[in-house]
Chain A
């Protein structure tokens, strides 16, 4: 069993790739010992986008279903876990289960509507935006979580890390996110190397041909949405307990949905390392640019978003498959068959 799993995950992976991954992991493990709090907060952001991008990639990169409303799952999960914690003192590690369930339930609703009635492509993307928007408006008037006034978690100066309740210093969040990112990477590799991964890619490439080969496209697209929304829910739990304040206007905002899909698109849609690479490149460059300008005395509002736009346009024009595929070739990390 374990040996088979091991074999399946590593089949065709070049030694060098494992070595480089190992080195990267070690670097990430020791990084908090070496960086200042500001850099740590940037690395947390990188991991947040790497993990969330991976979750989104399951739907779009693997199965070809474009969601432009993933802020919905982040927001629902953030509010669910936060409200359970504040109102019922339920630890977020348990509240996460409720958060995942609610996100998946909404995912199932969207998927069912779209796939049952043959809504695909652009219209599917619009539907995902619509759901996020409706939910935002709903939460604006949801008194239990203080509506548009915002929902706040109690904060104090933490001397120790309480992992069960996700109360602690940034470094705790860093390691939790790192663990999540690694787990998501392995989980996605497992998915991609199994029947489900092949079926998803077949659906992404040509739905009619996929169906002719016996694939129940409805079921597999539903699975993609469920897994993606469930994974994204954990980003929401993190978000709530890391930032400690939630506003419907912000968390469900479409710009949040767009922000989290840039990493995988720039890194390489459908690839496993693309979302991670994209998160590093985008976040580090954007922060670097911001800091440089700031140091020079320029404070330009929205400069990050302009920068994201430029990156996106450049990648779409010159590297339509993202940065990772050509980089992988350069590094000699092509999979063996």
Chain B
């Protein structure tokens, strides 16, 4: 299988703090890769570099053979990367449907057709009955799902999910997992997900990459990685979560 996303040795420092240090990872076409690590490990910063919020200090990001590092976020969306924000960014005054329509209009300039697409995406995430609610009135788990819906509506080739299961009840987590598995298997959507909820990571990922203090300390098969002593060490004190 060829790689859709190749992240090669990217680093980012904030005023001397090295948030990400020479991190590399690859996501195969049609694959699901989990990116885990303790708080402050640099996971979101990695996403921000892939999605164009920050230009990496060094290293490169390649999507299907094309360099995308340093491009503007909207151009990276054009290239086929969709992302959600860990700290959700809903368009508060717009309804849930209009939020998703903004995403759908990326590939469909006709508003009536975009509306139908947006409705289909909302339906898929179990949010259809909320479509006329202003996004500012949704609960946090609903806003997380709205983030996913909006990104999905742009029809990305790879979806970057930043802790979208946080705060969900176990049954809701299982529903979300089922949605992503379905998208992956039926539509071939490639997914890179940051997640603290190990239940979801283990259920979805074919491969896991572990980040600690900005560096990749382990990678590979999920079952093997969670037994890796170095991984267990870095999670010490947070062990309950694993």
Contact = CB atoms under 8 A, between A and B. Distances in A.
Interface of A: 7-8, 11, 193-195, 198-199, 201-202, 204-206, 208-217, 270, 337
A215 B74 contact: yes
A208 B48 CA distance: 11
A146 B94 CA distance: 49
Contacts of A217: 74
B105 A195 contact: yes
B109 A195 contact: yes
Contact of A209 (B78, B85, B105, B132): B85
Nearest to B91: A205
Contact of B97 (A8, A11, A213, A337): A337
A194 B91 contact: no
Contacts of B51: 212
Interface string B33-70: 00000000000000000010100000000000000000
19 contacts: A8-B112, A194-B111, A198-B111, A199-B105, A201-B93, A201-B94, A201-B102, A202-B94, A202-B102, A205-B91, A205-B92, A208-B53, A209-B89, A209-B150, A212-B74, A213-B77, A213-B154, A337-B97, A337-B132
Given A204-B93, A211-B72, A337-B97, 10 more contacts: A195-B111, A198-B101, A202-B94, A205-B90, A205-B93, A208-B89, A212-B74, A212-B77, A212-B151, A213-B151
A199 B132 CA distance: 18
Interface of B: 51, 53, 72-74, 77-78, 82-83, 85, 89-95, 97-98, 101-103, 105-106, 109, 111-112, 114, 131-132, 150-151, 154
Contacts of A270: 93
B158 to A, nearest CB: 13
Interface centre among A204, A205, A209 (most CB of B within 10 A): A209
Contacts of B114: 195
Given A205-B92, A205-B93, A216 B74 contact: yes
Nearest to B99: A202
B152 to A, nearest CB: 11
Nearest to A209: B89
A118 to B, nearest CB: 12
A155 to B, nearest CB: 47
Contacts, number: 81
B147 to A, nearest CB: 9
Contacts of A205: 90-94
A186 B62 CA distance: 45
A201 B98 contact: yes
B89 A213 contact: no
A189 to B, nearest CB: 13
Contacts of B132: 337
A337 B91 contact: no
A85 to B, nearest CB: 41
Among A202, A206, A270, the one with the most B-chain Cβ atoms within 10 Å of its Cβ is: A202
Contact of B78 (A198, A199, A204, A214): A214
Nearest to A210: B102
A337 B154 contact: no
Contacts of A199: 102, 105
A202 B51 CA distance: 18
B45 to A, nearest CB: 15
Contacts of A204: 93
Given A194-B111, A195-B111, A213 B94 contact: no
B28 to A, nearest CB: 24
A8 B114 CA distance: 13
A177 B111 CA distance: 31
Contacts of B97: 337
A193 B115 CA distance: 11
Contacts of B151: 212-213
Nearest to A7: B112
Contact of A198 (B72, B85, B102): B102
A8 B73 contact: no
B91 A214 contact: no
Given A199-B105, A208-B53, A213 B111 contact: no
A213 B150 contact: yes
Given A211-B72, A211-B73, A337 B105 contact: no
A333 to B, nearest CB: 15
A198 B131 contact: no
B111 A214 contact: no
A211 B78 CA distance: 10
Given A208-B53, A212-B73, A214-B106, A202 B91 contact: yes
B74 A214 contact: yes
A209 B74 contact: no
A211 B16 CA distance: 28
A205 B92 CA distance: 7
A216 B52 CA distance: 13
B72 to A, nearest CB: 7
Nearest to A201: B94
A11 B90 CA distance: 24
B164 to A, nearest CB: 14
Contacts of B95: 337
Nearest to A198: B102
